[in-house]
């Protein structure tokens, strides 16, 4: 099935050999019909369980099947490269622009008996205090390019725009799934972060609960009693100016005043938008230019020719919070100096009490320098 997204990107939906969904996002008219996935794969039946931590009021995901996932294969065996020369990968076509498919090793997946997950807790070891339920949700992989050696920051604005269209499309569809509470688009980059595949890609998690970080923000918004807290933060950063990296017509990039990480960058839309589907044409166009420029600036931050390891997460409104929660990017790196990493030791890992060795104003000054040099 082929249709067209709001941004003029052709969208073709197909299935892999084990039943998982795969979607091609083509720049312009859809390519000729792609070949089917002929690999002898058994049906996909991942086992996912959520267990409730009653002291912290948090759900922990248990996924024993993920411990056998692919780990840093050679480029010749990359499962995200196109299928070529008799080698079959996760993508049957011999080329593509952007591809999204269901993760073969998901952290969340619809259970066969899927119903409202909130109504099906059951105890661990018969103890009612230890509730558990199926991890009904969905995890997808987003391949940004067929070029194994590329990075998201190296791609042209046209390709970034296609990625944005894919994020918007998937956010809209996944948000409509029963039980999904929040959709999170993110990219892990670098072995130091823990990536298991070098091919340029990101992921999308459709959570069956509101994750702890979002719950903290929602609690702050509730205490703000109707104030636009995101808007207030953005306005205060723009007034101060010392941590602003780029101030565009529709987007503002800044280092937050209370940054936790050695390199940290936030990107906010200037108006209130709950998620990618709500972005208008001008906002998407500016983001397609600005985002890769910021990623290139991050790579140039240390002047050591080593790509910056980072996590770039796009936070979107949880279910029911579209009027108060604003779409925004939070990017951070664990590299605190060339060749040195920030490890989360006792205070951060044990107590979630953060200690930053770098002044946020210093980080913003360096990012402004490299952004302007690149531009």
* Domain boundary assignment for the chain: 2-209, 213-374
Matching CATH topology for 2-209 and 213-374? yes
The CATH class, in words, for 213-374 is alpha beta
Detail the DSSP E strand segments found in the chain: 2-4, 9-15, 21-27, 49-53, 58-62, 98-102, 122-124, 127-134, 138-143, 182-189, 201-207, 244-247, 251-254, 263-269, 310-315, 328-333, 335-337, 340-341
pTM value is: 0.95
Average per-residue pLDDT for the chain: 93
Average pLDDT over residues 219-235: 97
* Token pair 């073709």: residue: 12
Say if CB 249 and CB 286 are below 8 A apart: yes
Question: Is 266 labeled as catalytic in the residue annotation?
Answer: no
Summarize pLDDT for 30-45 with one digit per residue, the tens. 777 899 999 999 998 8
- pLDDT at 53 exceeding the cut of 60: yes
Q: Does domain 2-209 have CATH number 1.20.120.80?
A: no
Summarize pLDDT for 304-331 with one digit per residue, the tens. 889 999 999 999 999 999 999 999 999 9
Summarize pLDDT for 59-89 with one digit per residue, the tens. 999 998 887 777 788 999 999 999 998 899 9
**Could you say which of 198, 201, 315, 328 is catalytic?**
201
Q: Which two tokens stand for residue 189?
A: 């980059």
At residue 346's C-alpha, the angle toward residues 343 and 352, to 5°, is 90
């Amino acid at each position: 099935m082929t249709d067209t997204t709001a941004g003029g990107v052709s969208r073709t939906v197909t299935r892999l050999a084990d039943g998982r969904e795969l979607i091609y996002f083509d720049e312009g008219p859809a390519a000729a019909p792609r070949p089917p996935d002929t690999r002898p794969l058994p049906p996909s039946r991942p086992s996912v369980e959520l267990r409730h931590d009653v002291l912290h009021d948090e759900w922990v995901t248990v996924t024993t099947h993920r411990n056998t996932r692919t780990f840093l294969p050679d480029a010749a065996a990359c499962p995200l490269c196109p299928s070529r020369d008799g080698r079959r990968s996760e993508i049957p076509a011999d080329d593509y622009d952007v591809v999204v498919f269901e993760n073969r090793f998901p952290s969340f997946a619809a259970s066969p008996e899927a119903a409202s997950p909130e109504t099906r807790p059951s105890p661990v070891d018969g103890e009612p205090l230890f509730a558990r339920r199926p991890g009904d949700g969905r995890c997808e992989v987003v391949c940004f390019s067929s070029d194994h050696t590329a990075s998201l920051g190296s791609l042209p604005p046209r390709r970034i725009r296609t990625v944005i269209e894919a994020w918007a499309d998937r956010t809209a569809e996944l948000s409509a799934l029963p039980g999904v509470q929040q959709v999170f688009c993110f990219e892990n980059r670098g072995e130091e972060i823990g990536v298991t595949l070098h091919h340029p890609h990101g992921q999308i998690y459709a959570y069956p609960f509101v994750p702890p970080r979002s719950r903290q923000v929602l609690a702050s918004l509730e205490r703000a009693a109707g104030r636009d807290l995101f808007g207030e933060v953005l306005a205060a950063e723009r007034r101060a100016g010392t941590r602003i990296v780029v101030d565009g017509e529709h987007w503002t990039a800044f280092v937050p005043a209370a940054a936790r990480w050695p390199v940290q960058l936030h990107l906010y839309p200037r108006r209130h938008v709950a998620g990618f589907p709500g972005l208008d044409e001008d906002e998407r166009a500016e983001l397609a230019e600005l985002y890769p420029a910021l990623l290139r600036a991050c790579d140039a931050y240390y002047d050591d020719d080593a790509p910056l390891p980072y996590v770039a997460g796009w936070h979107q409104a949880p279910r029911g919070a579209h009027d108060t929660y604003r779409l925004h990017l939070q990017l951070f790196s664990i590299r605190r100096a060339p060749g040195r990493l920030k490890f989360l030791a006792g205070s951060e890992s044990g107590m979630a009490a953060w200690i930053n060795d770098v002044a946020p104003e210093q980080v913003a000054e360096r990012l402004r320098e490299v952004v302007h040099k690149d531009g």
